[in-house]
Amino acid sequence: MGVENVIFIFFFLLGTWLFARNAKKIIRNIRLGTATNRNDNPKDRWKTMALVAIGQSKMITRPVAGFFHVIIYAGFVIINIEVLEIIIDGIFGTHRVLAAPLGKVYNLLIGSFEILAALVLLACVVFLVRRNVIYIKRFHQNELNGWPRSDANLILVIEILLMTAFLFMNGSDLALQKIGFGHYTAVGGFPISQYLQPLFDGLTVEAIVAIERGCWWFHILGIIAFLNYLPYSKHLHIILAFPNVYYSNLNKLGGFTNMESVTNEVKLMLDPSAIPPPVSDVPVKFGARDVMDLSWKNLLDAYTCTECGRCTSECPANQTGKLLSPRKIMMDTRDRLVEVGKNIDANKGIFVDDQKQLLHQYITPEELWACTTCNACVEACPVNIDPLAIIIDLRRYLVMEESNPPAALATMLSNIENNGAPWQFSQADRLNWASEN
C-alpha cells in the first residue's frame, strides 16, 4: 500500500464520517415531528415507490424536463458502479480492478457509462439554459432569490465538471493503453472519450499520466465532496425521494384528518352518557404553530423538496396573483427546521425557546388563507410531497388556538354552529325558499 492509497483512504473515511454525522442530524430533525402511521399497505407503498420514485412517472408529465431528468437520474444510478471500482482501486492500489472478472461485459459497461456521461453533460447544459436563458416563470419567483437559485446552478456546474473529468480520465487512460505504458493494459470500451485522443498528441507520457491521475482524483474527491454538499442542498432529494414516496399518503386526496381530542368532544356532545377519555397531563394543542407540531412526514417532505416549482406553477391561487406559493411553504418549513436543529446543537441536545415559530415568522396567515385546498400542488409534485397537509395544520392553529380566522370564515362558522347552515337564517326558515308565495 503506497502513500497515494493512504491519502485516498483518509479522504474516503473523512467524507463518509462527515456525511454520516450530517445524516444523523437530519434524521434527528425529522423525528422532532409528531407521530403518524405510514406503515400500512406495504404492497401499495412499494408499488407507488416503483412507479413514482424509481419509474419517474410524475416527472415525465412535462416531457422536455422529464426526458432530461431521467437521463441524469439514470446516470446517477448506473455510473455509481464505476464509482465502486474507483473506490476499490483507491484503497488497494489496483487499476480497473473489475476488468478481469467481468471480461467483455466490462467493455460494455464502460461504454454505457461514457454514453450516459455525455448525455448527462447535455442534460445539465439544457437545464442551465432553461434556468438562466429561457425565462421560465417558476425559476424566477421570489422564494428562489439568493442561495436557492445559486444552489440549483452550482449543482449543475458540479455535475458537468464531474462528467468532464470522467471522460478525460478515460481518454487519457486510453492514450496510455495504446502506448502500453505500465499497468494501463487494453481494457474497456471508450465510444466517447476516444474522440479526445487528438488532445493528447505530442504530450509526454508523464503529462498524460498526470492528466489521468488528476482527473481520477478530481472525479472521486468531487463525488465525496458532492455527497457532503447534499445535506445543505435541495438535491438531498436524490436520497430522500425514495423513502418520501414510500411513505406517501395513500388515501384519496381531499380528505382531512380528524383530531382525536375534537372527535371525543363531539361524541360527548351527541351522547352525554358516553364515558370521557382519561384526562392527560399534557395539554392538547390544536393544529401546528411550529415545526415540532407537524408530523415527521411533513418534515420529511420539507427536506425532500426539490424546489422545482411544479406545485406553485399549478396553484390556482398563485396563478391569480395571491401570495401563496406551495414551494415557499415547503422551503420555509425546511429553513425553520434547520434553524431548530442548529438551536438544539448549540444547546447540547435541548431546544431553547428562540421566540420564533413557523407560523407568522416564516409563513403568514395571508398565504395560508389564499389556499383553495384543491390539491393541485400535491398532484403536481414529482416526489409526492404534500404542502396542503402543512397548510391545514397551520390554519387549524389560527382558528382553534388563536381564534383568528378571516371575518367571512368566522361568520360562516358561527352560522353553522347556531343555524346548522352557513347562511344567517334560523333552522325554522331553511325551507322557506320552497314554499309558494
pLDDT of 257: 80
Q: Among the three residues 246, 269, 301, which one is the final residue of a domain in this structure?
A: 246
- Write the CATH number for 388: 1.10.1060
Report whether pLDDT(292) > 90: yes
Q: For 257, how many CA atoms within 13 A lie in the half-sphere containing its CB?
A: 19
Identify whether the C-beta of residue 31 lies closer than 8 Å to the C-beta of residue 337.
no
Regarding predicted confidence, which is higher, 279 or 241? 241
The model carries a pTM of: 0.90
Are 133 and 18 in a shared domain? Answer: yes
268 in any annotated domain: yes
Chain-centroid distance of CA 328 in Å reads 14
CA 3, 9, 21: angle at the middle one, nearest 5? 150
Contacts of residue 352, defined as CB under 8 A and 6 or more positions apart, other chains included, come to 343
Are 19 and 143 in a shared domain? Answer: yes
Q: How far apart are CA 376 and CA 391, in angstroms?
A: 13
255 in any annotated domain: no
pLDDT of 435: 78
399 in any annotated domain: yes
pLDDT of 283: 64
418 in any annotated domain: yes
270 in any annotated domain: yes
Identify whether the C-beta of residue 237 lies closer than 8 Å to the C-beta of residue 69.
no
Are 311 and 209 in a shared domain? Answer: no
Mean residue pLDDT of the chain comes to 91
Are 291 and 403 in a shared domain? Answer: yes
For cell 415559530, name the residue. Answer: 357
pLDDT of 183: 84
Residue 363, strand partner residues: 359
Are 220 and 95 in a shared domain? Answer: yes
How many domains does the chain contain in total?
2
Residue 295, strand partner residues: 34
One-letter amino acid of 233: S
pLDDT of 171: 94
| Residue 363: strand, helix, or coil | strand
Are 192 and 327 in a shared domain? Answer: no
> What domain range includes position 363?
260-427
Report whether pLDDT(436) > 70: no
Report whether pLDDT(437) > 60: no
Q: How far apart are CA 208 and CA 111, in angstroms?
A: 21
Q: What is the pLDDT of residues 222-234, one digit of tens each?
A: 999 999 999 999 9
pLDDT of 208: 95
Grade residue 267 by pLDDT with cuts at 50, 70 and 90: confident
Task: Let me know how long the chain is.
Answer: 437
Report whether pLDDT(312) > 60: yes
Q: What separation in angstroms does the CA of 273 have from each of 148, 196, 270, 279?
A: 57, 85, 9, 17
Q: What is the pLDDT of residues 87-113, one digit of tens each?
A: 999 999 888 888 889 888 999 989 999
Residue among 421, 420, 424, 368 at smallest CA distance from 399: 368
55 in any annotated domain: no
pLDDT of 276: 78
Are 292 and 355 in a shared domain? Answer: yes
Q: What is the average pLDDT across 185-190?
A: 86
Q: Among the three residues 246, 278, 313, which one is the final residue of a domain in this structure?
A: 246
Q: What is the average pLDDT across 263-285?
A: 76
Q: What is the average pLDDT across 196-215?
A: 93
